Every structure is written in structure tokens, then in C-alpha cells.
Amino acid sequence: MDTPIRHDQEMPLKGVRSNIVQSIRAYRVSDLQDAAQGLGHHFLYANLAEAQSKQDVLDLIGAQFTLPSHFGKNFDALYDCMTDPLHKSGPQPGFIVVLEQIPAHAKFDKEAREQLLDIFRDTADYWGDRKIPFRCFYSFL
């Protein structure tokens, strides 16, 4: 039986598509976390402010998302860990993901940032195909 969504639980996400990757802009992390809890969704948070390289970004995401030890620490492995194994583990309620302070410097340039966000866009599409909400919010350092 589906639990009805209380208006105050959904409020931070009002007008936000159910499968999207977007800038965090006016959203507060705590409000997104509360919304995830209220909706019964997984809340995944990674603060990437200390990252200097692609490997640092992947290491921090792996540690903060508590990805399995076999996480290969590359973008393909990140996508794999965010999709199929979770799908196979049983019904999923939905996801709210926050990638805060993605580095923006020479060692993690615009191309690397776009590759990272593309992984999460592909993940949002994967879950969208399965009618499971996946919302990812990000900010740059």
C-alpha cells in the first residue's frame, strides 16, 4: 500500500521532475534530506570540496555513498554501482542525490565535470525507464 505524500514532505521538490540532474541553486541540503526521508527515498550525499582529481572525486563518492568494495573507481563503475545491482536487490523507492562542491579547476576541468554529471544523467534515465524517481542536485566549488 502506498503511503500518501504529505504536502510538506514534497514541498522542496514541487515542480522538480522525478528524474533529473540539476543545479542545487536555492535548495538546501537539509530540506532535500528531509524530503527524501518523508518520501521514503534513499538520500545519497557527497561533499567533494577536498577533491583535487578525478580519482579523488570517485574515492569521495565511493566512501560517502558507501559503494561496495568492488567499486572500480572509474565512471563506468560508478554508473554500474548506481544502477543494476540496486535494481536487482529489490524494489527501490526512489533517490535524492546531492553532489556538493564539485571541484572546478585544472585537474578536474569542465570536461571531467560534464562526464561526472553525464553518469548521473544516465543513472536518472535508467531509473526513469523503471518509473523510479532519481533526482540529483549538484553545486560547484
For 47-75, the pLDDT digits (tens) are: 999 999 999 999 999 999 999 877 878 99
Choice between 139 and 16, residue whose per-residue pLDDT is larger = 139
Residue 45 pLDDT exceeds 80:
yes
What is the distance between the alpha carbons of residues 85 and 89, in angstroms, rounded to a whole number? 6
**Domains in the chain, CATH or no CATH each:** 7-140 (3.30.370.10)
Choice between 39 and 13, residue whose per-residue pLDDT is larger = 39
Whether the predicted model's global pTM rises above the 0.85 cut: yes
The band of 11, judged by pLDDT with boundaries at 50, 70 and 90, is: low
